[in-house]
Structure 1
Amino acid sequence: MTTAIPRFAGAGNLIYRAEQVPRFVRAEGSYLEAADGRRYLDAEAANGTVAWGYDKQILRDALAYCEDLPALPSFCESDLRLGVLQRLERLFSEDIGAPGRVELDLGGAQGMETALRIAFSAVGPGTVVVFEGAFHGRSGVTSMLSSSPRYRELLAAWGLEVVRLPSPDCGRCPHAAAPAAACATGCVAAATRWASEVSGVGGAGFARKVSAFIFESVQNVSGMVEPDAALLRAAVDHARANGAVVIADEIFTGMHRTGPRWGFQRSGVTPDVVVASKALTNGAAALSAVWAREPLAAPQTYRPGSHSSTYIGIPHALGVARAVLDRWDGWADPAADVERLAAGLTDRLKQLQAAHPGLVSDCRAFGGAARLVLTGDHAPALRRLCLSADPRIGLIVASTGMAPDVINIHPPLVITERELDVMAEVLDRALTLLGESLAGGGA
């Protein structure tokens, strides 16, 4: 364990938000191993990236694809890049039912910025609409889109006008006194009232209007919140009717994390632009893909030279993407298998809820993602306890500042039934310790 920030390490990194941080030296399957030999089951999948688990063969396959082209100028083309682009475009277009084009970028935040470039090229720069609870990155531009004011304390693009629709989380909804089974008429009205004279936000017929509506099919950082399907469809329809480009942030949910290939398929909406990233490289390279329906990214709309970055087309990242795409192509029925994973997560979390009714108020799994809702803001404490509660094995889960009462669980999609049992056993021990601490006045 690292118990102090090293003298040579920048202190602002998220790594050091905890007092004790495991130092990992190897990983395989669903497990990480620390320098002291202790093993940790990763039920967080490296920020949701390692859908295939920690698999060294992906790196070997990637090297075989790129070893003859170790680097490339950013203004040059390669067969490797074109092959990856063609395969990616097909993944999007098959499910959306429309042709499109793919632009590449680095991480998720950079991909979101490229999506805005494409939208603004098509309809002009303007206001961007998002939901409360959104997380779209922490760069200067994307921090404006993300909800937490903390992300904008040091760097922000204050010239970008952003309007936030009410939270799609029924548990935090201002239009209902208690959580409801689905969104009510008032929720839909609140999400579609912009573009009127009294709303303060321009739409069709206004010189300054909304250029883009961005949504997540599941709000990961906000505590694994899935917007009501009817609400999301109404918000998308309203945005499109007012000339806005509809952008789906599939950075976390893309590639079967929530069951279908794309999270937006759960609600039946069809976006104009899709941003994917994490599962495209299984955490082994920084790469995002931005798909845009024709003609949004065509040369007459998105002028060549509008975007460039030194590392966007590096062969290493493209080789990793090709190797991971090979894996996805070889999985016979990922959607059905991930739904079975959802059932396994649900069974175990329901058992934990029944065993700890004073600590767990709710749970839900959708695909390979789940939320364990606590009765108070105890998620940071529970997350820390999971690292040490069991003498045999540690457990890595997630919690966020925007949802301190929720434990986020999103393991590798290839996690085994036995590993799910281990996860539940460690969570049970950690919840017991949390209950004892609370009873004694701690946590």
Structure 2
Amino acid sequence: MNADTTQEPTTTRAPWQEDAGRDLVRSFGDRMALFVRGEGAYVWDGDDKKYLDFLAGIAVNALGHAHPVFVEALTAQASTLSHVSNYFATPPQLAMAARLKRLAGTGESGRVYFGNSGAEANEAAFKLARLHGRGTDRTRVLTLKGGFHGRTMGSLALTGKPALQADFLPMVPGVEHIDATIEALEAAMDERVAALLVEPIQGEAGVVELPEGYLQAARELTERHGALLIVDEIQTGAGRTGAWFGFQHAGITPDAITVAKGIGGGFPIGALITFGAASDLFFPGTHGSTFGGNALGTAVGGAVLAEIESAGLVDNAARRETQLRDGIAALGSPLVAGVRGRGLLLGIGLTSPVAKAVVAAAQEHGLIVNAANDDTIRIAPPLTIGDAEVADFLELFGAALATVSDALILEGAPA
């Protein structure tokens, strides 16, 4: 037998895959496709295959792809003024800050710090907590197990996922991760706590909601002990849950929130929004960002928020949740255990740990979704989706589930 016939078969890689493998850092693993254009809730790859995008850049593309409002705002601002540094102010920066304060309900006392990402917003929140405890023994910062707040060293310390931290120890000290229960919070809270940082829905943990009444209890306990309540709205903000911000469902007022993702609709921008006395904690020299809040980013972000508001997309997110829940249940797939989440941030629980297989099958059928963990499919489509996109999703997702179910049956595993 000659050598050629004994070689293992090889998989041909496209030139772009070779380029990505050679030139890009490996922290993201292999890229799943090469996308070249988008429109609305759809994207096309280099072979002109069309996909329904029900991930929207992980809850980023609130208006979908190439929305005229986004394109016009970017083009108009780029033709006048892009960046002048934070030694100076610009009209788009001031306008977006005022809009965020109004939408969040901070009142006149609120303030906005602009950065470039969710991780940067949470770094600013971490500093806010430290400033709150400055000169005292308030050195403890509480976050929740399973929570995700970013990958920079400060935001990673806040993240309640030991596996993500393992290669970067030691972490920034002072952070304690507690169970996401009211009982655990009651046991942990004392006068040495500077802040509690929580997500209304833990998206990266599998779209896991907080226990009923948790945010109300957190507000009462933090006020009683003099700690800040900071709500991470990076995935849940900008209307995604059927309210402008997730904390608003609970009817409470936090001391600060962090936002990013959807507020820029695809342009990198993040912000820390403060309420009440927390607005006076920062003073000149305590924090900064060269690009944060520049004219280009805030012009686009302001236009995206204005379109979400004027087009009624917050209400649309609430309406589409019911439609999607009912449609997913009607598929009757034995792989579906149920649906978690709120608005257009939903987690589809699976009866078997085959989420990655479902994602791969969905991509083959022309649908983009995400495996939040082994048994959860996360969907976070553009806020602009309508009946046609929902129907398209249900058809494609049903086909993907059937593909995986059939494969499991062939393997003799329960479907």
Q: TM-score, normalised by structure 2?
A: 0.89
Contact 2:109 2:279 in 1 (8 A): no
What is the aligned partner in structure 2 of residue 311 from structure 1?
291
Contact 1:48 1:410 in 2 (8 A): yes
SS, match of residue 407 in structure 1: strand
2: CA distance, partners of 1:34 / 1:432: 24
What is the aligned partner in structure 2 of residue 422 from structure 1?
392
Q: Structure 1 stretch 149-158 or stretch 97-106: which is displaced more?
A: 149-158
What is the aligned partner in structure 2 of residue 31 from structure 1?
42
What is the aligned partner in structure 2 of residue 123 from structure 1?
133
Structure 2 CA distance for partners of 1:156 and 1:255, relative to 1, 3 Å: farther
Correspondent of 1:189 among 183, 195, 209? 183
Long gaps (5+) in structure 1: 168-186, 196-202
The amino acid across from 1:150 in the alignment is: A
The amino acid across from 1:159 in the alignment is: V
Per-residue CA distance 1:264-321 (angstroms, 9 max, x = gap): 11222321001111111101x21112111133233xx311121122111322212211
Equivalences for 1:146-157 in 2 at 5 Å? 146-155=159-168
What is the aligned partner in structure 2 of residue 361 from structure 1?
337
What is the aligned partner in structure 2 of residue 176 from structure 1?
none
The amino acid across from 2:48 in the alignment is: G
What is the aligned partner in structure 2 of residue 229 from structure 1?
212
Provide the alpha-carbon RMSD of the alignment: 2.1
Q: Structure 1 stretch 301-310 or stretch 1-10: which is displaced more?
A: 1-10
Contact 2:216 2:250 in 1 (8 A): yes
2: CA distance, partners of 1:144 / 1:17: 26
Q: TM-score, normalised by structure 1?
A: 0.84
1: CA distance, partners of 2:172 / 2:325: 44
2: CA distance, partners of 1:7 / 1:41: 26
Q: Structure 1 stretch 262-271 or stretch 37-46: which is displaced more?
A: 262-271
What is the aligned partner in structure 2 of residue 73 from structure 1?
85
Matched length? 395
Q: Structure 1 stretch 82-91 or stretch 212-221: which is displaced more?
A: 82-91
Contact 1:139 1:155 in 2 (8 A): no
SS, match of residue 109 in structure 1: helix
Of all paired residues, the percent bearing the same amino acid is 28
Q: Cα offset for 1:60?
A: 2.3
Alignment pair present for 1:242 and 2:225? yes
Q: Structure 1 stretch 343-352 or stretch 153-162: which is displaced more?
A: 153-162
What is the aligned partner in structure 1 of residue 302 from structure 2?
322
Alignment pair present for 1:438 and 2:408? yes
Contact 2:208 2:340 in 1 (8 A): no
SS, match of residue 425 in structure 1: helix
Q: Cα offset for 1:142?
A: 0.9
Structure 2 CA distance for partners of 1:9 and 1:78, relative to 1, 3 Å: same
1: CA distance, partners of 2:252 / 2:352: 34
What is the aligned partner in structure 1 of residue 234 from structure 2?
251
SS, match of residue 270 in structure 1: coil
Contact 2:101 2:107 in 1 (8 A): no
2: CA distance, partners of 1:82 / 1:267: 29
Q: Cα offset for 1:17?
A: 4.4
Long gaps (5+) in structure 2: 1-13
The amino acid across from 1:190 in the alignment is: A
SS, match of residue 201 in structure 2: coil
Q: Cα offset for 1:397?
A: 0.5
Equivalences for 1:288-299 in 2 at 5 Å? 288-298=270-280
The amino acid across from 1:362 in the alignment is: G
Contact 1:127 1:162 in 2 (8 A): yes
2: CA distance, partners of 1:245 / 1:442: 53
